[in-house]
Every structure is written in C-alpha cells, then in structure tokens.
Amino acid sequence: MRDYMKFYIDGAWVDPAPGAGSADVINPATEEPAGRIAMGTAADVDAAVAAAKAAFTTFSRTSREDRIALLGAIMGEYQKRQDEMAAAITEEMGAPAWLSSSAQAALGMAHFNTAMEVLKGYNFHEERGTTAIVREPIGVCGFITPWNWPVNQMACKIAPALATGCTMVLKPSEIAPFSGYLLAEILHAAGVPKGVFNLVNGDGPTVGSAISKHPDVDMVSFTGSTRAGIAVARDAAPTVKRVHQELGGKSPNILLDDDGFADAVSRGVSGVMMNSGQSCNAPTRMFVPAARMDEAIGVARATAEGWAPGDPNGNAKMGPVVSETQFDKIQDLIQKGIDEGAELITGGVGRPDGLEKGYYVKPTIFANVNNEMAIAKEEIFGPVVSILGYDNLDQAIDEGNDTEYGLAAYVQGTDMEKVREVASKLRAGQVNINGADIDFMAPFGGYKMSGNGREWGDHAFGEFLETKAVLGYQPRQQAAA
C-alpha cells in the first residue's frame, strides 16, 4: 500500500491544511485499494500558489543556459526511476506492463527532452525597426491533468513551463495519482528551485476549481473531458486568465477504397484497443466503403479478438479500464449501441470470460453504424469501434466532420494525392496519415469542443509566454543605420 498523505509545496513535503480528507486509490485490475492519498482544500491551493508566486520573481529571470541544465538534470533523475514510473502507472490505471514501459512512462522523458531541444534555439527576443518584441513567462500556471496517460499529460505541461521560466501548481488525477508523486520526487532530486513546482492532490470541484479561480494563477491548463473543461473555463473567467484546454474527441478514421485496405482496418482497430480505448484521440469511428463492409467486418473481428484483456502485470495486450465509474459508462453505451440497432460483431456487455474481478471490458466492434447513434456521437473512452459505411468520399468527409469534437482524424490509403486532399478537408487539430509515427514537435490540440491552444514541441511554448512590445528600444537613427 502506497501512503501519500503529504503535498509538495515550496520545495518540501508538507502536511495538508486543516480540513483535508483522504481517499483510497483503487487498483483497477483487482478492485482493491493500492494506496491512500490526502485530498486537499482551497487552503492548500492558496499555500501552493503563494509559493509559486514568490518563486516566479527569481525563476522567471533565470538564463536559457540555467533552464537547459535544469531540464537535463530532470531527465537524468527521470531515467533512474523510469521503470518505477511504469510500474506505478500499471498499478494506478491498469495499463499493461508493455505499454506502461514502452509508451506511458517513456513519453514523460520524451517531453522533457523535446522542451530542452526547443529551448536551445527558441527566439524570446526580436527587433523590428526601433521596436523590440519580447516573449516573457506568463507567471504562475495551474495544471489539472487526467488519469489516462498520466505522466505524458503532466510532462507535456511541466516541461515547456519550466523551459519558459514559469512556476506552477499541479493537481494530478485523484484516480491515478501515484505517477504525480513520483514525478514530484524526480523534480525535487533534480534540483528544481523551491516554489517553482508544487503539487496538491484533490478532486476537481474542490482543488481544481480553487486553482482555476485563484487570482494569482495567471494561466490554467486543463486536460480532460469537455464537460469538466467548460467548468474550468467558467471558474477562470472572472479573473480573465489564459485558459488552455485539451478535451474530448470522437475521431473519424476514413479508409480509402484501394490496396492496403485490410491492413488499414487492422491498424485502425488496434489504435482504439491500445490503452483499453482510453485515449482522447483514438480513431473510434471507422468509415469504410459500403461495398467493402463485409471485408472490414472480418478483419476488424479478427483484430479485436487478438486484443484479449488480462492481468496488466502479465503478458496481456490489454488491461482493465481505470475505474468502476468508467466501466459502467462503457457498458451503458455498448448496450445503447445494441438497443439502437447497430450490428454487434464481437464483444458486447459484461466482463470477458474468465475475468470475474477487475474493470475489464470486452474488445467490441459494431458495424453498419450510422452517425446518429449514440456510439457514433458520444466519447465512449473504452475499447469500442464503430464502423460506418460510405458511398463516396464527400459523404465520408461530411460525416467525419459531423461531430462536436475536432481533436484528431485519420486517413488511410495508397493514393497520396487523394489522401492529402481528404486530410485537408477534415476539421481536426491533428490528422494522421497511414499510421504515421508520433512526432513530438507536432502541435497537439483540437478544433471545436475539443479545446483550444496547442501542446507539444515549440507550439507549446507560446501557451506559457506573454508578448511585450518595447517601442523605442533602438534609437531611430541607429535603427535606420
């Protein structure tokens, strides 16, 4: 049992303020408590913000070289504990060991490395005639992060914030908080100055809201559901702080009618099954030529049945979903798909055979879905793929865009001219062609109700910087010369 009953504030582990509660952290594979955390209050947020505000005065004026060295030290400490980080992620949210090691924990290191490389050449100062355009750290940042890719979503905020000279208060998900505590220990060991990074645990309505409302928080960055993102924006509005949001998705995956179709179907299904469907950019709506629906069904069934859930500490390809609440939501939507007349190809309601305990969901494929069904409109956040048929590409594009979300989209086909044309017409912040590899320099964020602003790479830096124009920076005659 892990016992995390302190918060990291002003460079030290401190007891919560009076009135704090506690909560058990449930291992989703066993449904048993794996640890206990303190649940903070607005008073804990006040203390953390005060520390961050005091630290900003000096940290905001550190040199580029100082911050490059700090990021390097963080990477050195992270590497020492990367295996421990992977094990914690498996325990707290159920990602299978292979995924926790190769992707979940590895992404944290990648974001710190990317921020360091961007920082080396980032232009914080330029001159236009007699005017200087200066990009300065925005101030104290509040971070509210989710449970599905926990260290990835912490690191992709923390790394650019540190690189640009900001200070911060982090509220990790109370459902999967272990990785946040480990990350705080890593940052401390790396020598992050006191007050620059602070961690307060708690729930969204209490700690998350206190961060969003706080008058001394200059920007808040939230990753999570669209519903919660709206609440964060409302809380932040009276203080007119910057609000960055990376929210939900219902991503279309348009498969062209050409060679490589079977591979495209299999790749699309696997893209949903990885992480038990708990990825906001998962390609959950697969659009296939109507004439090839039967072929798609056969490949999708075989692929999904190869993603058998099981013990995440063993050799299973897929683990459980994160919680009972998520399990129940997914079950309800699978049942709704059946009730609305979608063709259930494999999977369905209930736990997989032989798994009587743990929040395991059957890999599920629905075919002959239409865009008005709940399973095509709502973010299920589980291992469920909906296959929709189309008669022509214009129909596929129109229906692909017919969603309130716009985080990601996918196009697969061998005719690159046609693939690029389809990609250009999709209303999404990131379009993936033919299973392209991850690119840490590619901006990540959404259109419409999938959020605003961008994370990852050099685009992330802009979220943490204010722009100042200094007129008369150069004397007029010197500028003319």
- 36, 326 Cβ separation under 8 angstroms: no
Sign of the alpha-carbon dihedral angle for 94, 300, 293, 298: negative
pLDDT in tens, 178-191: 999 999 999 999 99
Among all residues, which ones are annotated catalytic? 246, 280
What's the token pair of residue 471?
């007129």
Class of domain 252-433: alpha beta
CA 149 → CA 16, 252, 322, distances in Å?
A: 26, 21, 11
Contact of 290 with 449, CB cutoff 8 Å: no
Report domain extents, the chain: 2-247+446-469, 252-433
C-alpha span between 402 and 201 (Å, rounded): 37
Note the pLDDT of residue 477: 75
The per-residue pLDDT for 219 is 98
Answer for the pair 147, 173: CB distance below 8 angstroms, yes or no: yes
pLDDT number for residue 62: 98
Q: How far is CA 115 from CA 71, 164, 184, 290, in A?
A: 8, 9, 18, 45
CATH number of 2-247+446-469: 3.40.605.10
Q: Which amino acid type is present at position 55?
A: A
Task: Return all residues near 441 (Cβ < 8 A) that are at least 6 apart.
Answer: 114, 118, 456, 457, 458
- Which residues of the chain have a pLDDT value below 70? 478-481
Q: In what side-by-side order are the strands of the sheet with 343-346? A: 343-346, 364-367, 384-390, 285-289, 252-255, 408-412, 430-433
Per-residue model confidence (pLDDT) at position 476: 84
Task: Give the number of other Cβ atoms within 10 Å of residue 324's Cβ.
Answer: 12
CA dihedral 14, 16, 18, 24 (to 10 degrees): -140
Name the phi and psi angles at 14, rounded to 5: -125, 155
Whole-number Å distance between alpha carbons of 30 and 311? 9
Give the pair of three-digit tokens for residue 17: 């303020």
